[in-house]
Structure 1
Amino acid sequence: MSRPRTARGLSACLAALTLSAGCVRGVPSPEREPIDAATLARIQDWEDRRSLGDGALVSLATGAPDARVRARAQRALARIQDVATLDVVRAGLRDADPGVRDEAAFAAGELALSWEPLTDAERTALAEALLAAELAEREPRVRSTLMDSLGRTGAPAALARLTELLQGGDVEVAGRAALALGVAARRGGAALVAGVPLAPAVALLAADRPVEARYGGAYFLMTAKRAEALPALRRCLEDADADVRGLCAKAFGDVGGPEDAVVLGRLLEDPVPRVAAEAARSLAKLAAMCSGPCTAVETLEALAARAKRVARGMETPEASTEAGGAKAPAATGSAAGGVKAPATGADSPVETLARSADGHAILAVAQQGLPGFASPLFVSLRLALADAERGAASDLARADLGWLDCRLAAALDRQRGTLADVTSCGFGQVQDERRLALGLRETAQARDKGTAGFAVGYLSHKDARVRGAAVEAVGARPVPRAATALSPLLRGDDLVVAGATAAALGKMKAQLLAPALEPLADRVPREPGDLAEPVAGALVALQGRAAEPRFREWLKHPHANVRRVAAEALTQLTGQPVRSERVELPPDTFRPEPAPAGAALVFRTAKGDITVRLDADEAPLTSGNLYTLAQRGYFNGISFHRVVPDFVAQGGDPRGDGEGGPGYSIRCEMTRRPYRRGTVGMALAGKDTGGSQFFFTHAPQPHLDGRYTAFGEVVSGMEVVDALLEGDLIREVRAVRLTP
């Protein structure tokens, strides 16, 4: 689904991007003559079309007289992510200008993060270039970028160098090295850092260390997953910084034991709800280690008190519309954001939102699940919610309590392996379709409970979300007689359900239906976003090597994700690594109008307003995409369909199940913006698959840096983000312009 557009409006955005990319972050470049706008426009066009300009982009990256042009060209190479440009990136690491070296270091890290994995030889070559550059680099900011990229390679030599830096005397460098090692472990598994000593990371947790160093140390200990870190982790639970406490609480879920329930239990009353949610999630994981009632389960019973706090909610629904926290920056035009400063006193909007955020601890436990013997805890929590609902102070509180009740009911059904409690949960606050879809998806995880015969009847449900969830349940817990009922869904109008059906048939090894996949596979080139991955999995399972010619054709498809899926399928079928080639997109490929300077979005919800400043300079097309959709009213009435406490709140899907979008995809624009608390990112299902789904981060998420386009930040209303629960509606999104 594409349409042509002109390059109108790009020049101003590109100039700003080049100026920011042409210097070391925080170290301005000397004054120079303005860059030719035509050169910038060509680089932007090549970048968005994933083109090297017949070698012209490479020439600019290595030979342009102006360092700002070389830096901008390196940024384009980072976004194109073609391993064939490895030598050009390595040359950039040796550039005389620190800004170019910084962008080349970033580009090297992006190559390491490629959606199509590098070969061992390529990864080693990349690591060697980064190591040589890091040893020679004197600019602190460039060294930081180099350390990040070394961690992204995951290469043994790179991790060895980061280990040396962790043990050095520079606390700032050691903290950065610890974070880079942690990200490597998060991506490649704790075994990657098994030989890294813990003592230097533990030393970073000392109270007199800067918070960035403490965070790096805690992140490494959390991802290293080693029981010998437990004494330090227990002390870390008292850190003054909420994000550090949250990391250490998270670590207990992997390395703690039931005996740690008491120390974690104290965090259930942490003044920062997202920290309490991490403690609750880890307690749920510890409960799974018990063979029967234990301290971890008993400690979680304290969550019943949270239901009462959630129930207090807002005094009136209307009061919540002014719950924005600090006043938003002034906006031009009539849509200024509607965010007012918080009131004071016991009933201030900030405090009432905090009560709503208390529900995240309950949500975390329900999402994590508990062993069957702990079902009385879920029952007691539901009773507490029911009692609280009868005295709830507002419709908002009732809606929150209703959804939490359904989450707990679905967790109970997951324990039992069938739909029961979820069919009547929610105190009348939750639509039938949402309840059924939730329950079916949860029971899909109960693989030890036999087949999901109960889900077959929902395969013909009128709501696509329910049909899709039923397909998921049947595929995860195969029902032999379900193949006949699944077959018509392959030919249905809903491509998400059709794709899920193909995946389910593949898992069921339904060989007799292999021919029925052909028409759906023929649609993949025209509908790549919804179909490529599930159909490829089904073809591999049901056709085997007979599907190889089709995958060879897919390797030439313009959509990067189709090529990635084909390469992975061929690698699986042939036993040899297969990589697709870069395919240039045609000049008339759809490109969103860039966002204007000062672009912002105001999300209006029943819980208050959230104002987001878009990064129109660094990500003009991604920002422009959401800005334009907001102007069209696209987001009005759409829900936040996914909320994972202390991680993200995600919205922008018109289907409401995480599978929908605007009917087109845009290319990724990886920026240098790190995922801190309140960063806004673009949700993806693979390279260049962005559309309308976005997410807000509750806490820093360094493993997302450079992987998902970060294109803005919450500038007011973060307490509203914290209070969001799944299903909260976006009443309206206003596209506005903020003044400096």
Structure 2
Amino acid sequence: MRRSHSVRALSACAVTFSLLTGCVRHVPPVETPPLDAQTLARIQDWEDSRSLGDGELVSLAGRASDAWVRARSLRALARIQDPATLETVLAGLKDAEADVRGEAAFAAGEMALSWEPLLEAELTSLEAVLLEAERSESDVDVRRTLLDSLGRLGTPGAVTRLAERMRDGDGALAGRSAQALGVAARVRGAAVAAQVPLASAEALLAAERPVDARRGGAYLLSTVKRPQALAALRRCLGDEDADVRALCAKGFGDVGGPEDAVVLGRLLEDPSPRVASEAARSLAKLAASCSAPCTAVDALDALSVRAKRVARGMAPPEAAGDAKTTVETLARSAEGHPLLALAQQGLPDFGRPVFESLRLALADAERGAASDVARADLAWLDCRLAAAMDRQVGTLKEVLDCGYGHIPEPRRLALGLREVALSKGKGGAGFAVKYLRNPDARVKLTALEVVAARPVPEAAAAVRPLIEGEDTVVAGAAAATAGQLKDAEALAAVEALAARVPQTPGDLAEPVAGALVALQGRAAEPRLREWLEHPHANVRRVAAQALSELTGQRVRSTRVPQSAYTFRPQAAPARAGLVFRTDKGNITVRLDVDEAPLTSGNLHALARKGYFNGVTFHRVVPDFVAQGGDPRGDGEGGPGYSIRCEMTRRPYLRGTVGMALAGKDTGGSQFFFTHAPQPHLDGRYTAFGEVVSGMDVVDALLEGDVIREVRAVELAP
């Protein structure tokens, strides 16, 4: 994801030591051992600088007399992700203390998920030890973590074991195994999906099963993309749990047929907009696989009713007379999510009348809208649908005059160009060349996306000057586009930009590496090998990946301590929270200052400076995330520095707050709220808080909604 709860305790540390230890919330035993604060501080320092402390950190993880120190050291190794420490991590799975084994199990999963993949021999070793540990583990919490790690590993042996555990009589463990198999299928692809025993997954969907088991089964069936799962998916569309219904509706998009359009059409009226959004998205996918006339398209006509409800009787939350009115107001705003999901997914050409019908319904609603909030929602949804229509034809037309005059031109152009870049077989991008000279960076950036996707020689002359511009995001995209165009005349500018990578690694490393490989070939190898020693982990990862592609041999970077790159904000208070004020209401977040002190402290400090005031939620994907915190508004911005990842054991549930990334240790100011559980994000993106009130506001957010203010507050225990 561009800028993607603790299970066991790390220690019984006092709040005073939370920044030093990075520990998780824990109810201390009656006899709490004294903490060695100096040792814990050293561990935090090593973690921050991505150092092994000349072997001391590894030694503490394996041989410290204090179990809390061993556990904290293993957490640091999980975050550093150095393959050289794999043996120590695996040894921790045999520790006498369950808390230590739990941390070792988590660290093993993080190794499996490493941004720079493990070698085949390392994966084999990891599989063997994890399987042995899972077979003999008696602690339920540790066993759950081991199942999660097997899912992240996704090797044949891991998949076989998880399939066995799905038949376990314990519904919770069976559901957890199914979820882990779903993650493996997402990470490893069709080879894993083909091995899943569908009968075991279907059995988890029985009404008498616990909700966690049903969710695990639905998650797996929606992920494997096998037609044999259709019968079970049809049955679980009536589940009482919205998350289960949404997952089952999602599964139809990849394996359903025209005969499923009727039942999915009925789900467009589901009381949960998240379920309706998945139904709309699946209907759009089914439409793409059929020829006109298509029942999947016909079913989407039902969305026009939702379009009218977005605005009917709507009043701003601050003007609401009572709590019931406010809830109804937000529910009407959330009605827009199925329309947004449809626009994001797109329809084939013969589905154009559906977009036209929906836009007419929105225009009708806009004329009678009762508030500025409603008008803004309707205007943006109109432009979203207009952009989807422009994607159908491969050029800008509808977005040039969408939004009833409420959406500024740069925003309309950027939206339309980004959608048009997704067009397939729609001719060249000559029309987009003029937008490369637009003064707005968002427009230039999306015009580059069009040119890169549909290269035309006449674009090269307009792309070259952008490589030398001050905006590093645009410069990087221009370099990548020059590579796509095979423009040899751009090489000098690309090389000059490459010299800036050490100072701006987050924005430039990946696009510049791609451009160098495209324009220089093997001549780019010396510079890329220099990058293997860069202090920033993401630069090293990009260089290793580029060199592997360039040479045809697996290249791995080395770990580089980054003391000069250390960033540590002031610790947030023990009960720190943030209140996000929007025009649709307030969202209150509790920060996890114990387990993610760096990430929490960073967002807390930015909020106190007023950094987020006026920034938008630039990305909303229904039933997935609402993402904000980018001052640029295009998903490419940040505070001018990067923070290190703090992978935690907090799962991504509904309302979890996570840090968006563009690679390892590239966090900054972009955060996201999850609409529903997202197991594939667990352990990959730092989870550092939860929404404690205002989840209905999160559900009602649309792209462009403004964060008026973020206040730092102290929450009750």
TM-score of the superposed pair, with normalisation by structure 2: 0.96
**Equivalent residues in 2 for 1:312-323, closer than 5 Å:** 312=312, 314-316=314-316, 318-319=318-319
- Secondary structure of the structure 2 residue equivalent to 1:715: strand
How far residue 452 of structure 1 moved from its aligned partner, in angstroms, is: 1.1
Q: Which amino acid aligns with 2:353?
A: P
* 1:282-335 CA distance string (max 9 Å, x none): 000001111112111010001001111101263246326x9xxxxxxxxxxxxx
1:394 aligns with 2:381: no
1:636 aligns with 2:613: yes
Q: Which amino acid aligns with 2:170?
A: D
Decide which of 640, 645, 655 is 1:668's aligned counterpart: 645
Q: CA RMSD in A?
A: 1.4
Q: Which amino acid aligns with 1:399?
A: A
**Aligned position for 1:257:** 257
**Aligned position for 1:651:** 628
Decide which of 13, 16, 30 is 2:18's aligned counterpart: 13
1:301 aligns with 2:291: no
How far residue 550 of structure 1 moved from its aligned partner, in angstroms, is: 0.3
* 1:209-253 CA distance string (max 9 Å, x none): 000000111111111111111111101000010001000000000
How far residue 127 of structure 1 moved from its aligned partner, in angstroms, is: 1.0
Q: Report the Cα distance in structure 1 between the residues aligned to 2:29 and 2:104, rounded to whole angstroms.
A: 16
- Secondary structure of the structure 1 residue equivalent to 2:404: coil
Decide which of 600, 619, 625 is 1:623's aligned counterpart: 600
Q: Which amino acid aligns with 2:478?
A: T
1:702 aligns with 2:707: no
Q: Which amino acid aligns with 1:12?
A: F
**Aligned position for 2:656:** 679
Higher mean alpha-carbon deviation, 630-639 vs 163-172, is at 163-172
How far residue 167 of structure 1 moved from its aligned partner, in angstroms, is: 2.2
**Aligned position for 2:61:** 61
- Secondary structure of the structure 2 residue equivalent to 1:126: helix
**Aligned position for 1:201:** 201
Q: Report the Cα distance in structure 1 between the residues aligned to 2:69 and 2:590, rounded to whole angstroms.
A: 27
Q: Which amino acid aligns with 1:62?
A: G
Runs of 5+ unmatched residues, structure 2: 1-13
How far residue 30 of structure 1 moved from its aligned partner, in angstroms, is: 6.2
How far residue 505 of structure 1 moved from its aligned partner, in angstroms, is: 1.0
- Secondary structure of the structure 1 residue equivalent to 2:457: coil
Q: Which amino acid aligns with 1:238?
A: G
**Aligned position for 1:473:** 450
Q: Report the Cα distance in structure 1 between the residues aligned to 2:526 and 2:128, rounded to whole angstroms.
A: 37
- Secondary structure of the structure 1 residue equivalent to 2:558: coil
Q: Which amino acid aligns with 1:270?
A: D
How far residue 624 of structure 1 moved from its aligned partner, in angstroms, is: 0.4
* 1:561-589 CA distance string (max 9 Å, x none): 00000000000011111110000011562
Alignment CA distance shift 1:313-1:59 (3 Å) = farther
Length, aligned pairs only = 704
Runs of 5+ unmatched residues, structure 1: 1-8, 323-341
**Aligned position for 2:83:** 83
Q: Report the Cα distance in structure 2 between the residues aligned to 1:702 and 1:316, rounded to whole angstroms.
A: 35
Decide which of 343, 346, 350 is 1:366's aligned counterpart: 343
Is the contact made by 2:390 and 2:398 (CA closer than 8 Å) also made in structure 1? yes
Q: Report the Cα distance in structure 2 between the residues aligned to 1:307 and 1:461, rounded to whole angstroms.
A: 33
- Secondary structure of the structure 2 residue equivalent to 1:218: helix
Decide which of 323, 340, 345 is 1:343's aligned counterpart: 323
Q: Report the Cα distance in structure 2 between the residues aligned to 1:716 and 1:33, rounded to whole angstroms.
A: 36
Q: Report the Cα distance in structure 1 between the residues aligned to 2:352 and 2:473, rounded to whole angstroms.
A: 34
* 1:174-200 CA distance string (max 9 Å, x none): 111111101000111132131221111
- Secondary structure of the structure 1 residue equivalent to 2:559: coil
**Aligned position for 1:456:** 433
How far residue 205 of structure 1 moved from its aligned partner, in angstroms, is: 0.2
Q: Report the Cα distance in structure 2 between the residues aligned to 1:41 and 1:61, rounded to whole angstroms.
A: 15
Q: Report the Cα distance in structure 2 between the residues aligned to 1:446 and 1:313, rounded to whole angstroms.
A: 37
Q: Report the Cα distance in structure 2 between the residues aligned to 1:309 and 1:588, rounded to whole angstroms.
A: 51
Is the contact made by 1:503 and 1:537 (CA closer than 8 Å) also made in structure 2? yes
How far residue 135 of structure 1 moved from its aligned partner, in angstroms, is: 1.0
**Equivalent residues in 2 for 1:218-617, closer than 5 Å:** 218-312=218-312, 314-316=314-316, 318-319=318-319, 343-344=323-324, 348-586=325-563, 589-617=566-594
Is the contact made by 1:317 and 1:394 (CA closer than 8 Å) also made in structure 2? no
How far residue 72 of structure 1 moved from its aligned partner, in angstroms, is: 0.6
- Secondary structure of the structure 1 residue equivalent to 2:713: strand
**Aligned position for 2:40:** 40
* 1:324-375 CA distance string (max 9 Å, x none): xxxxxxxxxxxxxxxxxx623xxx1111101100000000000000000111
Q: Report the Cα distance in structure 2 between the residues aligned to 1:68 and 1:358, rounded to whole angstroms.
A: 48
Q: Report the Cα distance in structure 1 between the residues aligned to 2:235 and 2:383, rounded to whole angstroms.
A: 36
How far residue 14 of structure 1 moved from its aligned partner, in angstroms, is: 4.4
**Equivalent residues in 2 for 1:720-739, closer than 5 Å:** 720-739=697-716
* 1:552-610 CA distance string (max 9 Å, x none): 00000000000000000000011111110000011562222222111110000000000
Is the contact made by 1:423 and 1:436 (CA closer than 8 Å) also made in structure 2? yes
How far residue 158 of structure 1 moved from its aligned partner, in angstroms, is: 1.1
Q: Report the Cα distance in structure 1 between the residues aligned to 2:209 and 2:169, rounded to whole angstroms.
A: 12
* 1:130-184 CA distance string (max 9 Å, x none): 1111111100110000010011111111111111111232222211111110100
* 1:359-415 CA distance string (max 9 Å, x none): 000000000000001111111111111111001111110000000000000000000
Is the contact made by 2:570 and 2:601 (CA closer than 8 Å) also made in structure 1? yes
Q: Which amino acid aligns with 1:119?
A: L
Is the contact made by 1:556 and 1:563 (CA closer than 8 Å) also made in structure 2? yes
Is the contact made by 1:317 and 1:395 (CA closer than 8 Å) also made in structure 2? no
- Secondary structure of the structure 1 residue equivalent to 2:309: helix
- Secondary structure of the structure 2 residue equivalent to 1:427: helix
Q: Report the Cα distance in structure 2 between the residues aligned to 1:105 and 1:501, rounded to whole angstroms.
A: 43
Q: Which amino acid aligns with 2:122?
A: E
